[in-house]
Amino acid sequence: MNNPSKSTCYEIRVRGHLSQTLLGAFPGLHAEIRGGETLLLGTLPDQAALHGVLAQIEALCLELIELRTCGKSVSNPERDHEGHA
C-alpha cells in the first residue's frame, strides 16, 4: 500500500509545444521541450493531484504520450506529524 505521507516525482509527456498560456495550467511543474513534445516534470503530493493534472490535460485536448514516475519519493513532514502512516 502506498504511504500517503510521500510525494512522488512524475514525468508527463504530451504531444506538441505548449505555449506559456497552456503551461500556466500546470503550476508547480517544470516544462522542457524535446523534439515535438513537451515534458512536464514535477513532484505531486498524492494521486488526487496526479488525477487533477491528467484531467487538465484532457480538458485542454492535449495528447498524453507517456506518464511515468521519476523514481523519487519525497517525505512530507507535515503529513507525518498529522498522525498519518
Which three three-digit cell numbers place residue 59? 480538458
64 located within any domain: yes
How far does the chain reach from its first CA to its final CA, in angstroms?
Answer: 11
Q: Which domain holds residue 66?
A: 6-73
- The DSSP code sequence of 6-39 is EEEEEEEEEESPPPHHHHTTSTT-EEEEETTEEE
56 located within any domain: yes
Give pLDDT, residue 1: 45
Give pLDDT, residue 6: 80
80 located within any domain: no
Which residues of the chain, if any, have pLDDT below 50? 1, 76-85
84 located within any domain: no
Beta strand 6-15 with 64-75 is antiparallel
What percent of the chain lies above the pLDDT cut of 70? 78
